[in-house]
Amino acid sequence: MTGLGFASSSLSEQIANPGSTANGVAIACSSVGVALVFIAVTGLVKKMVIEKTTKWTLAIICFGTAACCLIVSPPPAYMNPLLIFVGGAITTFMPISENDVDEKLPPAGKIGCSVWGGVLIFLLYLALAAWTVYDDAVDHGWLIPFLSAGMFVWGGGPVVLPMLMTTLTPQWIDQTIFITGIAIAEMMPGPVFNMSCFLGVQLALANNFPWAEGTVLAWVALIGPGVVLTFGAMPLWNKLRSFKFYNKALPGLNAAAVGLLVSTVFTVYGALEDRSTWKPGSRAVALCAYALIDLMKVEVPYVVLAAGVAGYLWAFVQPDPNSAAVTAAPAW
């Protein structure tokens, strides 16, 4: 992905040109990226909201959170954790099921860190989270969005990356390149790791920063907080899940977190609509990609490659919009 990042950086002007072959391929692959995000988000809505309870509480939390994110766009760094906290507070006082609270959970198994070690790591994580919120308000550089996404967004590639897109595009990187990167990263294991390398090298080169250091910093900022949180939370997990208030809050926390992701579907699709020179075609590719991946279970690499070929053929046969431009004579 670092090599693809170099290639994307060198082709950035061609990708931005609506009449180029590179733009046609990128838009087609971006359509697959939109489909992947939609598949991931709808899967989470079904798992964390629809299948949890027949009550409307989780649905209200989920889609209310999404509506807040769409109204306040771009949201400040503190808004996401605040909305998640509110979602947990709602189900704490309005539990969706008393049976979930009294359910006996199996033991978590052995862990390699003591409880006090976990407490120390967890406190350091909270301190870093507070610093991230502060730094996001005063530092508008290209690296802090990676740390913010790593601190406050948890999940796989289609979950984390759209949230990162809301803060990096279009100021730091072109939206088409970003969405294309999502589709390419999903072709390989470890999409978050791959995408951090893909973006890190491009942002470093664009800002006259050493590309190797920029790539490593982007990777550490995006991956590191999750690793630290895992080591901090696992020793506390047996204690934490025995608390009734936590079991009551957990469905609301999850529903609010999913709501944050629902709002990104509009962000990603809106970016595709803005950048596509043939909107009906990009919509058709997105729909076909959704059907192939989610319903027919076709592997993502085959779908991305097919979309890239379709985008190349479409760009090859379409007329160059620049050659058709006519300058009107001034009327005197």
Contact 103, 126 (CB under 8 A): no
Angle between helices 191-206 and 211-240 (to 10 degrees): 140
Q: How confident is the model at residue 329 (pLDDT cuts 50, 70, 90)?
A: very low
Which of 94, 70, 95, 101 minimizes the C-alpha distance to 83?
70
| Burial class (CB within 10 angstroms; exposed 0-12, middle 13-18, buried 19+) of 326 | exposed
- pLDDT value, residue 292: 95
Tell me how far apart the alpha carbons of residues 25 and 27 are, in angstroms, rounded to a whole number. Answer: 6
Provide the 8-state DSSP code for 170: T
| Contact (CB, 8 A) for 27 and 313 | no
Residue among 110, 109, 144, 112 at smallest CA distance from 129: 144
pLDDT tens digits, one per residue of 264-288 = 888 888 888 888 888 888 999 999 9
pLDDT at position 116: 72
* 330: DSSP letter: P
Average the pLDDT over 322-328 and give the result.
48
What CA–CA distance (Å, rounded) separates 132 from 228?
A: 15
Question: 290-319 pLDDT, tens per residue?
Answer: 999 999 999 988 999 999 999 888 887 766
Nearest to residue 259, comparing CAs of 133, 71, 80?
A: 80
Contacts of 147 (CB under 8 A, 6+ apart): 132, 135, 221, 222, 225
Q: Tens digit of pLDDT for each residue in 204-253?
A: 888 888 888 888 988 888 888 877 777 766 666 666 767 788 788 889 98
CB 183, CB 29: distance < 8 Å: yes
